[in-house]
Structure 1
Amino acid sequence: MNERLHSVLAQRGVSPESLAELCEVDPKTVGRWLGGRLPHPRHRFSVAQHLRVEETFLWPAPHPRAGRPGTGLGAELVGTYQNRASVPRDTWLSLLRESRQQIGVLVFSGTFFAQSNPHVAKMLAERAAGGVRVRLCFGDPTGTAVAIRGREEGIGDTLAAKIRASLTYYRALLSEAGCEVRLHNTTLYTSLFRYDDDMLINPHVWGRPASANPLLHLRRADATGWFDNYAQSFDAVWAAARPWTSDQEGTGTHGQN
């Protein structure tokens, strides 16, 4: 069953019959798509266009087998986006909902992560209750790395204030089993968002906010690819970060980073 197609249709309020009419196919054909059959390329394009979602999100490339042609770095690249804002909101939500093992977030402030989804803390708590390990790692607002990044972006102490504001969204998670929030003091070259074997990579360009920079969608193929390198960097930063408690930081102004 194509759960992602089912989910997007429900979110958009589009019935299978309506989708069939839009794509000029028989409703039984849409039924087969929902059942897991891969549509013809022109139909995949049409469905994605009508539902306003990435085609590769609805029909991800199959995981290549280790040791066979097509494995390695390039095989892990599912899609690219000109900037973070161009990633469909449904992509963020569906990846979160469908996680079964772990969710990891590594950012400086990540205010967009909560502001674009007011129920993010509740959703993360629900995933944790289902056995998913949730790790959220934000920049330490008192650390040197945040101060340097603020100067590079030309916003001074604003970044530290944005981090404090972002943390307020996650206070409720501190008491949830399976959820951890930490603060890092690391030079952050890339913001990372991991959902099991999917990862969204948001590289940082000097002097520009993360939201204005490109984003790559990776899916793990084997232990020799980009995915594991980024996953290992997440684990290294996480190991050196300090646990956050809600009484450590005050609140600040909300913003985007």
Structure 2
Amino acid sequence: MLGPVVSASIGGVNVRLQTVLHQRGIEPESLADVCEVDPKTVGRWLGGRVPHPRHRRRVAHHLRVEEGFLWPPAVDDTASTNVELVATYHNRAEVPRETWLTLLGNATEQIDVLVFSGTFFAQSNPRVAQTLIERARQGARVRLCFGDPGCRAVLERGIEEGLGPDTLAAKIRASLTYYRSLVTAQRCEVRLHGTTLYNSMFRYDDTLLVNPHIWGQPASANPVFLLKRVNEVGWFDNYAESFDAIWADAQPWIPD
């Protein structure tokens, strides 16, 4: 029997409930019918409100997941249980577009992106550059770190993925064109790195999406972990420190 529970909420959204609905192809209105509640009630659940116990049980049964996954038991801050891992996705395409947009739109302090090309990041949000500048104007620090098109790591990664020696470099150059306006924007920086990249990372304040790289496969085909920072000795800070190390050696991007 669950004791006090908390919503698995990131940026005001119960990401786990949202993700399971997306993966099962179930609309919120359909879940409302199953639970015999108003669709607005399901909307509040998705927004982070914890349902009544009988509704939690019915939702978990209908979605074929553990109730404690959707609404984890409350834990003491000193507990050793790792609650940083909020959600996992089989591949990047399974991360709902609404999750990307919500995290970006709600960030107030820090936005960090580490990729080789990150083409999807702009293609999934045509206003991504404007949104990043708006976030910076509201006080957030924006750091975007792309692969250096001329570096050996990019050349080797393209060959490993079967793209040929020049394709990934061309994708990086095309992706960078979306961010020209950030070069002169306050609190925004764009740099190029030449490191062997083990993970793509997307940080929004204390939330982090990590996209591990499997050899020979494009990043889009690999899993994504959604982490929420809990303390200074967890996964989140380890990944954040690796970003800082790569950023320190990266060079500012100067558009042609």
TM-score class, shorter: 0.7 to 0.9
Cα displacement (A) at 1:79: 0.9
2:181 pairs with 1:172: yes
* SS of match in other structure, 1:75: coil
Instruction: Write the mapping of 1:54-93 to structure 2, written as runs, cut at 5 A.
Output: 65-70=76-81, 74-93=82-101
- Once residues 233 and 249 of structure 2 are traced to their aligned partners in structure 1, the CA distance between those partners, rounded to angstroms, is 24
Contact 1:60 1:78 in 2 (8 A): no
2:111 corresponds to which of 103, 108, 114 = 103
Unpaired runs of 5+ in structure 1?
9-15, 50-54, 248-257
The share of aligned pairs that are identical, in percent, is 63
| CA deviation vs aligned residue, 1:163-199 (integer Å, no higher than 9, x gap) | 0000000001111111100000000000001011111
Cα displacement (A) at 1:153: 1.1
Code of the aligned partner of 1:204: H
Match of 1:205 in 2: 214
Which structure 1 residue ranges, 4+ long, deviate > 6 Å from structure 2?
16-19
* SS of match in other structure, 1:159: helix
Code of the aligned partner of 1:25: V
* SS of match in other structure, 1:175: coil
Cα displacement (A) at 1:223: 1.4
* Structure-2-length-normalised TM-score: 0.78
2:36 pairs with 1:24: yes
Match of 1:241 in 2: 250
Contact 2:35 2:59 in 1 (8 A): no
- Once residues 176 and 46 of structure 1 are traced to their aligned partners in structure 2, the CA distance between those partners, rounded to angstroms, is 49
* Structure-1-length-normalised TM-score: 0.77
* SS of match in other structure, 1:128: helix
- Once residues 100 and 243 of structure 1 are traced to their aligned partners in structure 2, the CA distance between those partners, rounded to angstroms, is 23
Unpaired runs of 5+ in structure 2?
1-8, 19-27
How many residues align? The count is 228
Give the alignment's Cα RMSD to 1 decimal: 3.2
2:121 corresponds to which of 113, 128, 143 = 113
Cα displacement (A) at 1:66: 3.9
2:228 pairs with 1:228: no
Match of 2:21 in 1: none
| CA deviation vs aligned residue, 1:46-72 (integer Å, no higher than 9, x gap) | 99x8xxxxx99xx785885542242xx
